[in-house]
């Protein structure tokens, strides 16, 4: 089982600007001052091992799209944010003109989670099968509306793929090609749903656009059960805690600190911070990651929790 992140940003896509690239480059040059590199490989090795993560990477700009890979011919993904465009390119390259079957599990239909579908290449390939799963009654309506004038020039009926909408029930396990997928209701405007994917003893939980009310112990226990013993929890950590429960309370998102606490309650193994705030630059996001890791150290019980921050291109093998 493998998790591949195609889009990790919340709300709206962002991109590094020319000034951002220059700044990273200048900082890298300062850190490398006095060193001599005789080849690209030497420089690459130095950059990979010595420089700060935020100088050599970017946390990426695409909105949510996360692929869950299991053995077999079909594809599985959570959400179709702008990360769906490179995900589609990947599928087309891998299929080499052979139509694909793609299974999507939608957290909800806010724009940042569906905006990639109009540029999702496989949707234009005749013979492709796309099954869009979700718990919302408005699932099909949201996708069709996006594919209509004046928002987009290609009408839904012009798409080459056969597209099917599959309604799921919260709390009710759904079996697909040997993988069990269980949706879980979450607190977000218009509701959202997390998904627990179980395949041959491995567990991945995708839980984005989900606010947690800290005073509600019963709610925390429900989520701890949903995350229980997960190998990976992909968690909405859009804000720092103070922000999440003050000016941005009731905005439907959570924080790095609550992610650590819930994963510790659940005995989960790996927390992946996700749905990054578009206003945060790479240095800020790395700061939030370091703070989450330190909080985990300070509050660790009998089991360590690995903490990472998702970026576009990250792959996690289970």
Residues that bind another protein (CB under 8 A): 214-215, 217, 220, 240-243, 245-246, 255, 257-258, 261, 291-292, 294-295, 298-299
- Write the CA distances from 33 to 24, 27, 40, 46, 315, integer angstroms: 14, 10, 16, 12, 32
Nearer CB in complex with another protein: 282/296: 296
Nearer CB in complex with another protein: 36/218: 218
Q: Least distance in Å: CB of 98 to another protein?
A: 49
Q: Least distance in Å: CB of 293 to another protein?
A: 10
Nearer CB in complex with another protein: 78/245: 245
Nearer CB in complex with another protein: 97/217: 217
Q: Least distance in Å: CB of 308 to another protein?
A: 17
Q: Are 268 and 277 in contact (CB under 8 A)?
A: no
The b/e string for 104-118 (b: 16+ C-beta within 10 A; e otherwise) is: bbbbbbbebbbbbbb
Asked if the peptide bond before residue 150 counts as cis, ω within 30 degrees of 0, the response is yes
Give the residue among 233, 231, 234, 170 at the shortest CA–CA distance from 201: 231
Count of residues for the chain? 318
What burial class does residue 165 get, using C-beta atoms within 10 Å of its C-beta: 0-12 exposed, 13-18 middle, 19+ buried? middle
Nearer CB in complex with another protein: 225/294: 294
Q: Least distance in Å: CB of 210 to another protein?
A: 15
Nearer CB in complex with another protein: 187/214: 214
d(CA 260, CA 270): 10
Q: Least distance in Å: CB of 80 to another protein?
A: 31
Tokens of 37: 């590199």
Q: Least distance in Å: CB of 196 to another protein?
A: 23
Q: Are 240 and 287 in contact (CB under 8 A)?
A: no
Tokens of 46: 């130095």
Nearer CB in complex with another protein: 257/266: 257
Q: Are 77 and 195 in contact (CB under 8 A)?
A: no
Q: Least distance in Å: CB of 39 to another protein?
A: 41
d(CA 65, CA 74): 16
């Amino acid at each position: 089982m493998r998790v591949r992140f195609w889009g990790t940003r919340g709300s709206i896509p962002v991109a590094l600007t020319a000034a951002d690239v220059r700044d990273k480059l200048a900082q890298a040059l300062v850190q490398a001052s006095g060193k001599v590199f005789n080849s690209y490989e030497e420089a690459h090795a130095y950059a990979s091992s010595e420089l700060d993560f935020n100088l050599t990477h970017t946390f990426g700009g695409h909105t949510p799209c996360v692929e869950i890979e299991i053995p077999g011919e079909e594809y599985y993904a959570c959400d179709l944010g702008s990360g769906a465009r490179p995900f589609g390119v990947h599928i087309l390259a891998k299929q080499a003109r052979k139509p694909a079957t793609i299974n999507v599990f939608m957290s909800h239909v806010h724009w940042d989670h569906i905006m990639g579908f109009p540029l999702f290449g496989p949707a234009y390939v005749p013979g492709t099968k796309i099954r869009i799963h979700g718990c919302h009654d408005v699932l099909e309506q949201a996708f069709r509306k996006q594919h209509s004038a004046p928002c987009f020039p290609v009408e839904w009926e012009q798409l080459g793929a056969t597209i099917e909408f599959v309604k799921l029930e919260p709390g009710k396990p759904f079996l697909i090609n040997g993988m069990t997928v269980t949706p879980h209701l979450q607190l977000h405007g218009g509701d959202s749903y997390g998904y627990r994917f179980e395949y041959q003893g491995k567990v991945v939980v995708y839980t984005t656009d989900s606010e947690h009310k800290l005073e509600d112990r019963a709610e925390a226990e429900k989520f701890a059960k949903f995350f229980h013993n997960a190998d990976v929890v992909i968690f909405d950590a859009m804000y720092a805690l103070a922000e999440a429960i003050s000016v941005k309370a009731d905005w439907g998102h959570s924080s790095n600190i609550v992610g650590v606490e819930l994963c510790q309650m659940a005995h989960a193994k790996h927390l992946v911070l996700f749905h990054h705030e578009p206003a945060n630059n790479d240095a800020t996001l790395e700061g939030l990651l370091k703070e989450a890791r330190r909080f985990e150290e300070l509050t660790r019980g009998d089991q360590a929790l690995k903490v990472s921050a998702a970026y576009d291109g990250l792959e996690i093998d289970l």
